[in-house]
Amino acid sequence: MMKLEKVQFTTVCYMSALTFAFILFPLMTHLMLWVIILGFCSVAVCIVRASVAMPELRNITINLFSTFCLVILLLFYQDYGLLSSMINLLVVACSLKFIMMRTAADFHLVSIVFMFLIAAGFIYNQSIFFAIYYGCAFFFVFVVTFLINKGHMTFSKSTLQTGKLLLQAVPIALLIFLVAPRLPPFWQVPKEESTQTGLSEALTPGDIANLARSADLAFRAEFFSDKPKPIERYWRAIVMDNFDGLTWSISEREKNTALLTEKNYSGARWEYLVNAEPSDSQWLYSLDVPQIAENRGEWPIFLNDNYQVFSTTVSDTRNIYLLNSYYEMPVSSERVDYSRYLQVPQSGNILTRQYIEAMNFEGLSTQQIISKIAEIFTKNPFKYTLKPPLMPVDPVDEFLFIHQRGFCSHYASAMAYMLRLAGVPSRLVTGYQGGEDQAKSIITVRQYDAHAWVEAKDRELGWIRFDPTALVAPNRMLAGLFDSLNESEKELIDESKLMRQLMELGLIKSMEDGFVMLNHNWSQMVLGYDQNSQLEIVQKLFGQANIKNLVTFLLVAFVGIAFYLVTSFLPWRKWFSTKPVSPEMILLELLQKKGFTRHKHETFSQFLNRITPQFDSSLVASLNEFEQQFYATRYSGNQDEKPLKEALNKCIKALSSKHSSSHKPTNPIVE
């Protein structure tokens, strides 16, 4: 196998090392510590080898070391899951190869692994930021492969040329992306391991505290009408009706709530698009009272009698849907049986029971009962905190009468329990509250915006939303989670401190807004592009989405690709050259094609004198005539080119005559 030259080797080594380090960074959270160390050590070794002559490692040493690494990987395989283990394996293999790269084939092999690692990175993160980041890594990989056989081209020119070649490929890739059929998965694949899976279907107070620490994106909503005020942003997702004294959950009956039948929507509304990140839950997010306008996701979505939007399929794909929310309408349903919303455990939480039994609710309306019960939060020193103490037994009693510290799920759970004890049908609702305003019409909701509140049933008004947390921490609703936390609690949020400080200074706010808009469009147009989107395009282009039109769509794309290739490789420059074409230039070009090239230092006359002995008399005569006309036209002030052109035609005829085939240069001189 051919070794690279020293200079070439050094450049390719540096570039490969940079690329490997670049690819390793975002994968670090999924790699074992020793694999990360091994990866960066191999990068260092590669750089040193490029700079200093080093003895090469023996194959047996590398083989033994790789066996050792394989054993360790197998030992930790179950802790990391199949996908992460495979990525660790790839990084280990790449690192070991990196240590002993010599030939072009070695660099090619490493480049192939780089491409796999980049693709693996996209399994974990598909945001536009990472797409740009990995796009750079992808470019570096191609620079490495280009440098291997660049010839005498400089590094900067090689980089430029690589960029040109890659950019040229983008339009074709876009066309294929648009028309290539989207197939269902071929087989079940190992899922990425994740601890942040969205909202849980069961809630034991304290559970949401884990979510509150995550700054991951839950969803983005783009409003086409006015945006709701922060206090109105209750993104409803899960309704829990069953309480066992410790945990709130969804009963089977609630899960199988009938789909919403005909409903007369009226009044003012918010129109918006929700772009929800993939989660492990089938429940989607909406503001009250929702109506599904359009589904742009892969799987169908429905609306049930509880006004919950849900998908029948939980998948790794995002859900994109358009909703109208009639915020003036009551959340009511046609059902009459509300007994399950009064269910309480027979035992436990005795203090709360006694507290409610001691109260008199006679003659009070539902709202009055709610207000009366909620007084417990306003008259006592309750505190909103993300660090509540553990309450493993009788949590409501402990929360209300002992600790009086907690976060939304503690307040909502206690309130819903007390309402049920007071005979008011109630349920606990989880979802998100608030969200950050970005880029004019967009609200970004993150996992730390997760919230829980209560819905109580009023005979006339339907389900009334009541948020007890708002009584204790009004800032949580008005300005978001951050403003309701003290400095030590802010540390719990998994978001860059520097970023937050910059955000507070407003330095990058506008930049971030632009970025959010870009990411939102990226999610919709690229990540959310599926078979339905294809059909929509076909429908827009051809009027109807049927097989015939789909095939036409495909054919048009292929013709487009062929046209692009033809236009890219035709000699446009030659055809549309700005150089003036003179008869003498045409003649010189013709002679050059026959193998007779003029020296730089030769005059036209000298050139003809040199080559004419090899021609027959007719051609010599034509050339002599041309020579005379040439000097007459160019140097004797004769502006008329007609005689020169006529002489040229004679030369062309003589050159293309039968005999001209014998005009082969005996000793062609080519510069």
Partner 1 sequence: MIYRLKRIYWQLLYRFVVKKSASNEHAKFNIHNTFIMPTKFGWSLIGVTLCLFVLGTNYQNNVILAVCYLLVSILLLAIFHNYFFFTQHEIKLESVDADFENRNLKLRGTIFSQGRYAGGELGLEYSREVFKIALSANANSPQTFQVKLPKYKRGIHKLPVIAVTATYGFGFFYCWSYIIHNKSLVVYPCIERSTAQLHNKTDKEMGSVDASSQLSTSDNLQGIRPYVNTDPIYHVSWKHVAKGQGLVTKDFVEKAGSSGWLKLSDYHHLDIERALKVICYQIQALGKSNATFGLDLGSTKILPNNGNKHLDECLYQLACYGIDTQDQKRTISDPQQS
Among 168, 343, 546, 649, binds partner 1 (CB under 8 A): 168
* Alpha-carbon radius of gyration of the chain: 37
| Residue 131 binds to partner 1 (criterion: CB under 8 A) | yes
| Residue 176 binds to partner 1 (criterion: CB under 8 A) | yes
| Residue 2 binds to partner 1 (criterion: CB under 8 A) | yes
Please work out the total of residues on this chain that contact partner 1, with binding judged by CB under 8 A: 64
| Residue 161 binds to partner 1 (criterion: CB under 8 A) | yes
* Closest by Cα among 86, 83, 64 to 73: 86
Q: Which stretch binds partner 1 (CB under 8 A): 140-148, 204-212, 348-356, 453-461?
A: 140-148
Hey, what amino acid is at 53? A
Residues in the chain: 671
Distances (CA, A) of 6 to 14, 17, 143, 151, 237: 12, 16, 18, 13, 63
Provide the angle, in degrees to the nearest 10, between the axes of the packed helices 128-148 and 104-124.
170
Among 193, 294, 316, 640, binds partner 1 (CB under 8 A): 316
| Residue 53 binds to partner 1 (criterion: CB under 8 A) | no
Site string for partner 1, 570-609 (x = CB under 8 A): ---x---------------------x--------------
Among 527, 587, 623, 654, binds partner 1 (CB under 8 A): 527
Write down the least CB distance from residue 129 to partner 1, Å. 12
Would you list the DSSP string of 44-70?
Answer: HHHHHHHHS--PPPPHHHHHHHHHHHH
Cα–Cα distance between 454 and 380 in angstroms, integer? 20
Q: Which stretch binds partner 1 (CB under 8 A): 216-224, 402-410, 526-534, 645-653?
A: 526-534
| Residue 668 binds to partner 1 (criterion: CB under 8 A) | yes
Task: Count the Cβ atoms, other than its own, within 10 Å of residue 646.
Answer: 14
Q: Which is nearer to partner 1, 69 or 527 (CB)?
A: 527
Q: Which stretch binds partner 1 (CB under 8 A): 173-181, 251-259, 367-375, 383-391?
A: 173-181
- The answer to whether the beta carbons of residues 481 and 449 sit under 8 Å apart is yes
| Residue 126 binds to partner 1 (criterion: CB under 8 A) | yes
Q: Which is nearer to partner 1, 299 or 361 (CB)?
A: 299
Q: Which stretch binds partner 1 (CB under 8 A): 71-79, 146-154, 279-287, 483-491?
A: 146-154
Task: Count the Cβ atoms, other than its own, within 10 Å of residue 18.
Answer: 17
Write down the least CB distance from residue 170 to partner 1, Å. 7
- The answer to whether the beta carbons of residues 184 and 235 sit under 8 Å apart is no
| Residue 315 binds to partner 1 (criterion: CB under 8 A) | yes
Q: Which is nearer to partner 1, 71 or 170 (CB)?
A: 170
Our CA angle for 235, 237, 243, nearest 5°, is 125
| Residue 123 binds to partner 1 (criterion: CB under 8 A) | yes
Containing 252, the helix (H) or strand (E) segment is helix 252-255
Backbone angles phi, psi at 148, to 5 degrees: -65, -35
| Residue 554 binds to partner 1 (criterion: CB under 8 A) | no
Dmax over Cα atoms in the chain, in whole Å?
130
Beta strands, E only, 434-521: 436-438, 442-446, 450-458, 462-466
Q: Which stretch binds partner 1 (CB under 8 A): 184-192, 231-239, 368-376, 439-447?
A: 184-192
Q: Which is nearer to partner 1, 35 or 143 (CB)?
A: 143
Containing 266, the helix (H) or strand (E) segment is none
Write down the least CB distance from residue 22 to partner 1, Å. 16
| Token output for 499 | 């970023």
Among 96, 100, 115, 231, binds partner 1 (CB under 8 A): 115
- The answer to whether the beta carbons of residues 166 and 139 sit under 8 Å apart is yes
Cα–Cα distance between 17 and 87 in angstroms, integer? 18
Residue 289: asked if its preceding bond is cis (omega within 30°), the reply is: yes
| Token output for 643 | 């005689």
Q: Which stretch binds partner 1 (CB under 8 A): 49-57, 182-190, 379-387, 489-497?
A: 182-190
Kindly list the residues in this chain that would bind partner 1 in the complex (CB under 8 A): 2, 104-105, 108-109, 111-112, 115-116, 118-119, 122-123, 126, 131, 138, 142, 145-146, 148-154, 157-158, 161, 165-166, 168-173, 176-177, 180, 182-187, 189, 298, 315-317, 526-529, 561, 565, 568-569, 573, 595, 668, 670-671
